[in-house]
Every structure is written in structure tokens, then in C-alpha cells.
Amino acid sequence: MTGRRPFPFGAVVGHDDAKLALRLAALDPLIGGVLLRGQKGSAKTTLARGLAAELGDAPFVELPLGASEDRVVGTLDTRAALTGGEVRFQPGLLAAADGGVLYVDEINLLADHLVDVLLDVAVSGENIVERDAVSHRHPARFVLVGSMNPEEGELRPQLLDRFGLCVNVVAPASVSDRVEAVRRRLAFDAGEPLGGEDRPEDWLPGDRTPAIEADVLEAAAHLALDVGAEGLRADLTLCRAAAALARAERRPAVGLDDLRRVAPLVLAHRSRRGPFDPPVLPPDELRRSIEEALDPPDEADGPDPDGGPDADGDTDPGGAAGDRSMGLGAMRRPPVPPSGADVSSGRGRVVGDRPAGPTDAVAVVPTVRNLAARRAGAVGAGLAADDLRAAVRRTRRRRTIVLCVDLSGSMGAPERAGAASGTVLGLLTSAYEERQAVALVTFRGDEATTVLSPTTSVEIARNRLDGLVTGGATPLAAGLAQALAVAERATGDDADALVVVLTDGRATGDHGLDEALAIAGRIAASPIDALVLDCETGTVRLGMAAQLADAMGARCVEVTSLEPSIVVSAIARHVGAS
């Protein structure tokens, strides 16, 4: 942090929810940190820096996206090991943030295992290191603040749920607020008094813990259940946040109004979402759930015994999508490690070390540790080739699903367009956990188009999928070639791709089918997995999709319904069987 005073927290115009969330997390670190979601330039970093200053000029540590695990948690002090053979701990960023704010911009782009570490330490208040011959623990009590732009991809649900509070941060929309924000910034830069600031002592009271009565505990449970929050983390965070609010306002007990005020910060990112819902519950829907839970109608609790069937009841997606054939090429394909599985990689978290080969990058800490152990006090012993160690790294395998959809003017084109949009959103939502990316290639007329490049962001997909155009001829070969090109760019040592073709197998042009089968042969010869979803309709079936699947070395699954959930289910079953 530079020596210049940060912009005052209380002088930031608007953003009342974000300020409240940050203050509550500062009052009770067990809340588990704050996630600020919003576009660039919406004052997320300014708020985080200002909070550290408001906590009595506490440390403000910004974690860079490229930071290694050693830099974050701490590691062996190589200087001490080399000069005196001493095993000593060298603190990392977690130690530097003790007593202040640890800020991670674009936390959605940070490696998952590092986010796990940050969240664990933020809640426990202690960093425990057991690695590289170092066994050390130290206090690390800080307010974890993560910020992200949703258009760049979402956090996995497991990580999103572990953030105590989540706020959508939006730049002021009114002219007067924008003018005031700029005026204050210019005045601050010129060293002039700002106005609009508040005093930290107004919300930093003593260590008095307000009482939480049974009615508040019961209301918190109703709220969590009403939005479909999984587990008990939502209930607990609701109570902690409400208690922190009452404490900030110096009230001896927590009331339902406290619960009402903190509920949007606690629950928006914890709703149990369907495959086509946005990652954060819309404000109107959340507000409605809060009102219904805190002001329920006078009726008996419990489910209606005569209610409708369970959403996961007797309907079997397999009834609408059945495996018709499997090409011989599909049977020859080597098994693909599941997406999300740990695989050896040149990047990722360090899980050990091994003797370094001639072309390996030398891992400094294990090498120094090896040298120190061999020297064992023998002053002057130099570095030998046998001392050199290389890191063994593991990372989560990534998968890109390339959906290739026929949008030509044949029968059912509008339904295929709807299926394409819904399927992409469904795949993205269900793919959070496995960190899968999704791309969309469409073909119609005389060309194929990459409508959506590989992404993990539902927000980006929603923006790209509006108004898909149908009609024209069926350039199947162009669609397959485009999908293959997208898939090839997405594959690597720790990444694979799946091409899913939604078609009836028809192709236009004198050599349309022959050209398509030739491209299909290229897919079969590649390491890229493939699946054909046969959407042919009519009483007389030509079986051209099955012929295409054979050429691709792919499974062919008959899809008699283009309902997106059915298509997503068919793809998910294929991925699970790979």
C-alpha cells in the first residue's frame, strides 16, 4: 500500500449495502468475508481500501492473481536454510494481512485451491502450514474481501456459498449521485475536505454481544428454508450478521428487523437454483421470499399432503432421449478423465517434488531443503546435481463442451434455437462445480458461426444468445468444421473437449453429406469426444444422424423432446459415462 491516504470509506457515494456488509464482516470475522460482484469502476477496490483505513489504519494486503501458494501461506526461509542450515518459516501474505483487510480482485479468476485456503483461514483466524519441512502456525485474523465481474465467469457454488455476505455493486445511476461522486473525488485529490464522511467509532463499539432470542433463530431458519439454502451455513450467518448489526447500533438484543436488513446480503447467493436461473437470486424474488418468511400467513406449517409430485419424481429424461447407436469409433476412443478430476500438469498446486531432470524447472524450496539436509552442518558443501528437485503439480482437469446446432430452415428450427439457448445456460449453471466451459456454434444458410466462444459465465451467455436467427440451407460440414476448430483450441495437457451436434443429419448441396462425413472422420481421428443428438422428426426416419455419429466415432442419442432440461440431461449422462 502506498503512503497516500485512501479515499475515505464513508465518503463513497451510495453503495449502502456494500458498506453495511463490509462493516458487519469487520465486526464479526466468523461471518466469513464479503464478495462484491459488479462491473469494473464501481468502487469495489475503493471500498475495500477505505475499510482498512477505517479500522485504524489496519494493514491492507492485495493478493495478486498470479501469487503462488508459497507466497500466500508462507514457506521455508531459503536464506536461513542456505547460510546456516536452519529450518525457519518465512511468512506470506496471510501473515501480512493479520489485523486488517485481505483483498482479492477478480477472485473468480483465482485458482480454486487458493480460494479454499483463503476462506478457511478467514473463518478460523489461524494459518497452519505443514509442508517443505516446515511446521508452523500463526494468527491471521483479517476481513476477506473478494471482488469480481460476473461477465468474466462465476465462482463454483461451493466457494460462493462459503462467503458470508454477497453484494451486487452497481455504479450510481442518477445524475446527481454521479456528480456528487466525481465532486468528492476531485476534492479529495486536491486535498480539500469532502463532507459526507462518518466516524468509525459510530459503528465500532466494544465487545458486547447482543442476545439472540428464540423467535429470531426460528425466523432465520424459515428464511433459509424459503430460499432453498442448503445446509446450515445460511442460518448461522443470518444470526451472526444480525447480531453484528445490533452490536454496531449498540442495542442489547437482536430483533426481526435486524434479520430483515441483513437477509439480502446473506441469502442472495445461497438459493438452490434451477439450471436456467441466474447465479444470484433477483432482488424482487428475494424480497418476496423475505417478506413471506418473516410475515407468514396464518396457516399450519408443513407441506401440502395433496400437493403435486416431486420435481425429481417419476419423470425419466431417458424416456425422451434414448441411446440409439454407438459408432465403432466411439468404442475405440480412450477413456477421458472426468472433468474436475486432478491430473498431472505443468501448472496448478504443488503436491510434492521429485528429482529434477535435464529439462525440468528447478523448484527452489525443495532443492534448498535437500541441500540443507545433506550439508548437516558441513560448511562449504556446494550444490550437487542430486540436490536439484522439480515440483510435482496437480490441477483440476478442464472440459469445454462445444454445442453445434443446426438452425437451418428445416422443420423445428425455432425449437432448436430455443433448445440451443436453454441448453447453453443449463450447461453453464450445472457446470460451475466442475469448472466446465461451454461454447455454441450454429450453422445455417451457407456458413457456420461461433455465437459463443468458450466461457464459464452465465452473464456473457445471456448477452450473446438473444435473438438467434433461423432459416436457410443446412451447411452441416461447415458447422462440424467450426465446432472442431473451437474444440481443438480448447484442448491441452489438462483440458479436453466434447463436441455435441444437435441435428437430424441432413445436409444440403451436391456434396453436402459427403463433406460432412469427411469432417466427421477428422473428429473421429482426433482425441476430442463427440456426441450426436438426433432430433429427426416424422414417422419415416432416414437415420442420417446415426450415420453421421458412426463417422464421428460418437454416440447417437435420439432426442424426441427439445426441452432444454432433456438435452442437458442427455449430455450430462454422456459426460458421466465417458
Report the candidate in 97, 107, 96, 92 with the shortest Cα–Cα distance to residue 45.
107
Q: Is 428 exposed, middle or buried, given 0-12, 13-18 or 19+ CB atoms closer than 10 A?
A: buried
CB-based contact 151:460 (threshold 8 Å): yes
Distances 94 to 73, 89, 141 between C-alpha atoms, Å: 6, 13, 9
166 vs 161: CA distance, rounded Å: 9
C-alpha cell recorded at residue 79: 536464506
Classify each residue of 470-501 as buried b or exposed e, where b means 16 or more C-beta atoms within 10 Å of its C-beta. Answer: bebbbbbbbbbbbbbebbbebbeebbbbbbbb
C-alpha cell recorded at residue 18: 456494500
Residue 331 sits at φ, ψ, to 5 deg, of: -70, -25
Catalytic residue among 71, 183, 233, 462: 233
Q: Helix, strand, coil: what percent of the chain each, to 5?
A: 40, 20, 40
Report the candidate in 563, 436, 425, 577 with the shortest Cα–Cα distance to residue 502.
563
Supply the angle between the helices 544-552 and 512-525 in degrees, to the nearest 10.
40
480 vs 498: CA distance, rounded Å: 12
236 vs 262: CA distance, rounded Å: 12
Cα dihedral across residues 215, 216, 220, 223: positive or negative = positive
Tell me how far apart the terminal alpha carbons of the chain are, to the nearest angstrom.
49
Annotation marks residue 233 as catalytic: yes
Cα dihedral across residues 480, 486, 492, 496: positive or negative = negative
151 vs 425: CA distance, rounded Å: 14
Helix (H) or strand (E) holding 217: helix 214-226
Distances 42 to 15, 101, 331, 388 between C-alpha atoms, Å: 9, 19, 52, 48
444 vs 449: CA distance, rounded Å: 9
C-alpha cell recorded at residue 252: 442489547
How many beta carbons lie within 10 A of that of residue 175, not counting itself?
A: 8
Where helices occur in 361-441 by DSSP H, the ranges are 364-375, 413-430
Question: Active-site residue numbers?
Answer: 233
